[in-house]
Structure 1
């Protein structure tokens, strides 16, 4: 069993449902969705090029997948996540847009969110004691030779290169694409998501995702609301 701590909107949020249709799977239920019919892309195009984020489920990663360290339990992790979330405040992300990351596409804020950056850093440090350190052979498979000095330091300290100062919040929509496909995917994604992205995205929870076994789809185990219950009721 592996776990990750992420942000995703609630199960019935319009953005969650639109992303579930695009990816072909709902991360909360695990249920399959039919891909949308979009000009310029076949259903096979979408299915093939969304395989990676479909398995991961729609989310923005804060603490990448980890196995539990000896002496820790899932129940302890859940209690700590509930306690931690209750001490955080809710906030609104800057408007999201479709962005290109290398040869992949994702949703990301039009301007960086300092609130999200601080939350992600706090999640990493707070839950580090629950993470089983990465074995040496797994570290080698991660190909650290291609990392910058800062990314390599993160890999050694936190088990992932893209944390802390290297963190950039995003929600993946595709796997790596062929150069010839970038233009038509970008056009289709912008046409599909832009009407939905006019609504603000409220960060009101943390989501614990689970991977039951290696290679299995990640699903939402539980949502943990930010802020104390009394404060949320009076907001």
Structure 2
């Protein structure tokens, strides 16, 4: 029996430059499920590129708004999507600062050049408004999060919301690599990525929808289930 997980993401519009870049870099299109050839990168082997993008590829190119969760026993996907439709209809599209390449605790990721209160507010709303559908985190899931070492505030978020990096602990980002402990390799990846992402630094990020992603089982990749436009006039 499948035990699907769901997540709410910011996902760039399919066909946009940002979406095409992210999918090709990670080697998978999370809308179609298609595997893609990753770009040739100077000083980095194809095998190493595949390795350091493996986890991000599993989740799909995205920015997390509500972390992965399972539905509680009384909830259905139909109820979740119905609530999401109403939720998104109450929100207006907005523009956030441009995306730039940043070092996020050893990971390379795209983050807004300056803080975006609008994205922070949207993420907090996604966490709280849909939390009634979430099954409580299991003891093994809680232990996995705690193993990373949490602050007191992150522990509070973990207990309340099932994930430590939400609300005031949230940092919007779009992951491009796993942690790169070697400084020389980190520099090589940054050098490769900077010209690829430079164009995005010149354009504000437009947020017009919330994407529901679905993971069919623990080993399956996340794929787009449906996109919900922010449609309040």
In structure 1, C-alpha distance between the alignment counterparts of 2:204 and 2:22, rounded to whole Å: 16
- Is residue 187 of structure 2 the alignment partner of residue 183 of structure 1? yes
1:107 is matched with 110
Provide the secondary structure at the position in 2 that maps to 1:9: coil
Q: String of CA shifts for 1:93-130, please: whole Å, max 9, x gaps.
A: 10110011112110000111000001111111101100
Task: Work out the CA distance in 2 between the residues paired with 1:120 and 1:74.
Answer: 20
Secondary structure at the counterpart of residue 142 of structure 1: helix
Distance 1:195 1:42, change over 3 A: farther
Select 2:177's aligned residue among 174, 192, 209. Answer: 174
Q: Among residues 2, 24, 27, which one is paired with 1:21 in the alignment?
A: 24
Task: Confirm whether residue 44 of structure 1 aligns to residue 60 of structure 2.
Answer: no
Q: Report the counterpart of residue 73 of structure 2 in structure 1.
A: 70
Provide the aligned C-alpha RMSD in A. 1.3
Q: If the length of structure 2 is used for normalisation, what is the TM-score?
A: 0.94
- Is the counterpart of residue 138 in structure 1 residue 174 in structure 2? no
- In the alignment, is the contact (CA less than 8 A) between 1:120 and 1:164 conserved in 2? yes
The SS at the match of 1:195 is helix
How much does 1:10 deviate?
1.1
Give the match's secondary structure for 1:194. Answer: helix
Of 176, 193, 199 in structure 1, the residue corresponding to residue 197 of structure 2 is 193
Q: Which runs of 5+ in 2 are unaligned?
A: none
* Alignment correspondent of 1:164: 167
Deviation at 1:136, TM superposition (A): 2.1
Segments of 5+ residues of structure 1 without an aligned counterpart are none
> Contact 1:53–1:172 (CA<8 Å) still a contact in 2?
yes
Alpha-carbon deviation of 1:144? 5.4
Moved segments of 4+, more than 4 Å? none
* 1:138 Cα deviation after fit: 2.5
Matching residue of 2:14: 11
Instruction: Measure the CA separation in 2 of the matches of 1:83 and 1:31.
Output: 31
CA deviation digits over 1:125-157, x for unaligned, max 9? 101100000122331232257100100000000
Aligned residue pairs: how many? 229
Q: TM-score w.r.t. structure 1 length?
A: 0.94
CA contact under 8 A between 2:215 and 2:221: conserved in structure 1?
yes
Distance in 2 separating the partners of 1:140 and 1:52 = 20
- Aligned equivalent of 1:217: 221
Aligned residue among 14, 29, 32 for 2:35: 32
Residues 51-105 of structure 1: per-residue CA shift (max 9 Å, x gap): 0100110000011000001211000000000100010011111011001111211
